[in-house]
Amino acid sequence: MRKMLSSTAPHGSIKDQVEGYHIDIVDEVKAAVSANSVVVVGMRYNNAVFGACKALKKAGIEFTYLEYGGYASQWRRRLALKMWTGWPTFPMIFVDQTLVGGSKDLQRLLNDGKLAVDKVNA
């Protein structure tokens, strides 16, 4: 388990600011993850994101793709997702409401047969 500050560690004067940091993007991703079997959260011009989407298409796995800016835009909004998930990079891939990691992690699941089309498109 990764080390995290306890919820009581941020000073009371900033707690609302931390909890509400770009909550709109977090709520949007939460809703998509709840409504879809596979969700890829990414950004423009990122080869790992492109590769993950390509691998899912090749495997015949339906997915929802959410894109938030590129390297020079919307980075503050994407930071809220990193704070929420604890995952430091994009893409962020969710399967059955669980964060499974990024592009390499997805490829490992596909290669190991742990993410088959019949399991997620059922």
pLDDT higher than 70, residue 31: yes
Residues contacting residue 100 through CB under 8 Å, at least 6 positions apart: 93, 94, 106, 109, 115
pLDDT of residue 121: 64
User: What is the Cα–Cα distance from 26 to 117, expressed in whole angstroms?
Assistant: 27
pLDDT of residue 27: 98
**Looking at residues 28-43, what average pLDDT do you find?**
97
pLDDT tens across 104-115, in order?
A: 999 999 999 988
pTM of the model: 0.91
- Give the domains, in start order, of the chain with CATH numbers: 14-120 (3.40.30.10)
